[in-house]
Amino acid sequence: MGPAGQGRWSHVDRVPFIAPSPQLALTSPSDLLAAPLHPQLCQLIMEKFLVLLLIALAVAYAVPDPRGIIINLEDGELCLNSAQCKSQCCHRSSGLSLARCMPKASENNECSAKTLYGVYYKCPCERGLTCDVDKTIVGSITNTNFGICYDVGRSKE
Between CA 61 and CA 58 the distance in angstroms is 5
My answer on whether 53 and 90 are in the same domain is no
Q: Is the pLDDT of residue 89 over 60?
A: yes
Average pLDDT over every residue of 121-138: 87
The residue among 150, 105, 144 whose CA lies nearest residue 130 is: 150
Question: Is residue 75 assigned to a domain?
Answer: no
For residue 67, being part of any structural domain is answered with: no
Would residue 76 count as lying in a domain? no
Domain range for 56 = 3-62
Measured on CA atoms in the order 3, 35, 37, 26, is the torsion positive or negative?
A: positive
* 156 inside domain: no
* pLDDT tens profile 91-108: 999 888 999 999 999 999
pTM of the model: 0.53
CATH of the domain at 115: 2.10.80.10
Q: How far apart are CA 61 and CA 112, in angstroms?
A: 36
Give yes or no: residues 104 and 142 share one domain.
yes
Please give the Cα distance from 50 to 42 (Å, whole number). Answer: 12
Angle at 143 between CA 142 and CA 146, to 5 degrees: 130
pLDDT of 29: 60
Among 76, 79, 86, 90, which Cα is nearest to 123's? Answer: 90
More confident residue, 26 or 119: 119
Whether residue 93 sits in one domain with residue 51:
no
Cα four-point dihedral sign 78, 83, 88, 92: positive
Q: What is the largest CA-CA distance in the chain?
A: 99
Question: Into how many domains does the chain fold?
Answer: 2
Question: Do 141 and 106 share a structural domain?
Answer: yes
Same domain? For 112 and 56 the reply is no
